[in-house]
């Protein structure tokens, strides 16, 4: 319920209390202790089900903490120990996906904390974060490729892994920029602009995977609101970046966006999915008309969903309006435009 309803934080809090009352949080440690003793007893299967439930709650809680600005903060000691539960008689194909998400969201929360307490410089902090995310993704790529349980699910597992990796890369860079308190690209340092380019590159890779792997979009029929939200947000921010940080290769962005919308449209069944699909289409419309009208308003387009529901950074980035630049030039040249204005 918390995955698909706006009252997600309240529902998650209730689920957390219920889980603690049922001692689901103890199942993981108990299962690990049995595994180290080599004991695959019938109890292990029950414990694994309880541990999966607790892990699923942890993943959602961390998503809300990192991506929705929630103040929740559940802790899990020895996160990487969950790997020992893979490829056991009681494990299943999708356990590697679940466990990798547990690790990733724990890592992202740690990265965000480090960025807020950054003492090394913004570029170095983001590069350190990207190294940590690279290590995470390469570890899990090897685990998935070597697991006999992956089977025919391996391509989708790898696609999901890389989608999450590129999203995490982009968000780390954008949160680092947010931490500086500077949103006007024109007054950013070269180091800060380089971090933005890194974010743009990660978002482009994120989009390329979505477009190139239609089987990933097929799973949108089951996707929680967060998946739809980050899909819409990442594309809208890419549109803004093509204006703020234009580069060669941006020309095919609209076509990719239309392809993404066409594939996602057939799975937009419930309310939230339709909202985010509409935002995608609206972004394409505004971007397409930016040359035909004086202002397409894409530079100030910040949907309420990314203000009140999700705490995704970046849509408030802007560049100094060209009009102000012209006015300033005219003022320096003594243009009559300012005649009559009091000193």
| Chain center to CA of 78 | 24
Residue 207 CB coordination number (10 Å): 21
How many whole angstroms separate alpha carbon 316 and alpha carbon 313? 8
Q: pLDDT tens digits for 238-296? A: 999 998 998 876 778 999 999 999 999 999 877 789 999 999 999 999 888 876 544 47
- Residues 129, 44, single domain; the answer is no
pLDDT value of residue 100: 96
Question: DSSP assignment of 125-136, as one string?
Answer: HHHHHHHHHHHH
pLDDT value of residue 292: 53
Q: 129-143, 197-211, 323-337: which has the minimum mean pLDDT? A: 323-337
Give 318's contacts (C-beta < 8 A, 6+ positions apart). 183, 184, 185, 244, 299, 300
Confidence category of residue 341, pLDDT binned at 50, 70, 90? very low
> At 8, is the secondary structure helix, strand, or coil?
helix
Domain that holds residue 315: 92-338
In eight-state DSSP terms, residue 318 is B
Last residue of some domain: 61, 81, 101?
81
- Residues 6, 45, single domain; the answer is yes
- Residues 4, 136, single domain; the answer is no
Residue 84 CB coordination number (10 Å): 13
- Residues 312, 188, single domain; the answer is yes
Confidence category of residue 116, pLDDT binned at 50, 70, 90? confident
**Mean pLDDT in residue range 309-314:** 94
Global pTM reads 0.89
Confidence category of residue 40, pLDDT binned at 50, 70, 90? low
Task: Report the interhelical angle of 253-265 vs 190-212 (nearest 10°).
Answer: 40
- Residues 71, 151, single domain; the answer is no
pLDDT value of residue 336: 46
pLDDT value of residue 294: 44
How many whole angstroms separate alpha carbon 27 and alpha carbon 98? 16
pLDDT value of residue 153: 93
- Residues 76, 36, single domain; the answer is yes
Question: DSSP assignment of 146-203, as one string?
Answer: H-TTTGGGHHHHHHHHHHHHHHHHHHHHHHHHHHHT--BGGG--HHHHHHHHHHHHHH
Q: Is residue 87 part of a domain?
A: no
- Residues 189, 276, single domain; the answer is yes
- Residues 138, 19, single domain; the answer is no
- Residues 36, 99, single domain; the answer is no
Which among 338, 309, 315 has a CA at the least distance from the CA of 326? 338
pLDDT value of residue 323: 42
Q: pLDDT tens digits for 122-172? A: 999 999 999 999 999 999 999 999 999 999 999 999 999 999 999 999 999
pLDDT value of residue 340: 42
- Residues 46, 188, single domain; the answer is no
Contact by Cβ (8 Å): 268, 280: no
- Residues 39, 140, single domain; the answer is no
pLDDT value of residue 39: 64
Confidence category of residue 72, pLDDT binned at 50, 70, 90? low
pLDDT value of residue 326: 44
Residue 152 CB coordination number (10 Å): 7
- Residues 172, 137, single domain; the answer is yes
Confidence category of residue 202, pLDDT binned at 50, 70, 90? very high
Query: Is the pLDDT assigned to residue 333 strictly greater than 90?
Result: no
């Amino acid at each position: 319920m918390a995955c698909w309803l706006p009252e997600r934080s309240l529902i998650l809090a209730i689920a957390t209390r219920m889980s603690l009352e049922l001692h689901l949080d103890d199942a993981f440690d108990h299962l690990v202790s049995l595994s180290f003793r080599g004991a695959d007893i019938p109890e292990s299967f029950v414990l694994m089900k309880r541990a999966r439930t607790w892990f699923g709650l942890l993943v959602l809680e961390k998503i809300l903490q990192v991506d929705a600005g929630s103040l929740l903060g559940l802790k899990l000691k020895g996160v990487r120990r969950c790997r020992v539960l893979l490829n056991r008689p009681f494990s299943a194909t999708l356990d590697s996906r679940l466990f990798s998400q547990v690790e990733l969201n724990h890592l992202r929360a740690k990265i965000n904390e480090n960025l807020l307490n950054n003492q090394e410089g913004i570029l170095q902090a983001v590069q350190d974060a990207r190294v940590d995310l690279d290590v995470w993704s390469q570890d899990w790529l090897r685990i998935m490729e070597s697991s006999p349980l992956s089977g025919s699910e391996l391509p989708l597992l790898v696609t999901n892994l890389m989608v999450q990796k590129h999203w995490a890369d982009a968000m780390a860079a954008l949160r680092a920029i947010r931490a500086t308190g500077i949103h006007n690209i024109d007054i950013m340092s070269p180091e800060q602009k380089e971090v933005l380019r890194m974010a743009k590159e990660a978002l482009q890779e994120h989009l390329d995977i979505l477009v190139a792997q239609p089987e990933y979009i097929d799973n949108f029929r089951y996707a929680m609101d967060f998946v739809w939200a980050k899909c819409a947000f990442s594309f809208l921010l890419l549109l803004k970046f093509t204006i703020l940080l234009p580069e060669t290769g941006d020309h095919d962005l609209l076509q990719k966006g239309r392809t993404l919308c066409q594939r996602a449209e057939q799975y937009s069944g419930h309310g939230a999915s339709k909202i985010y699909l509409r935002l995608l289409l609206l972004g394409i419309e505004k971007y397409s008309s930016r040359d035909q009208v004086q202002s397409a308003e894409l530079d100030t387009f910040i949907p309420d969903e990314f203000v009140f529901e999700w705490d995704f950074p970046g849509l408030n980035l802007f560049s100094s309006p060209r009009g102000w630049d012209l006015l300033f030039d005219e003022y320096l040249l003594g243009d009559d435009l300012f005649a009559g204005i009091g000193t």
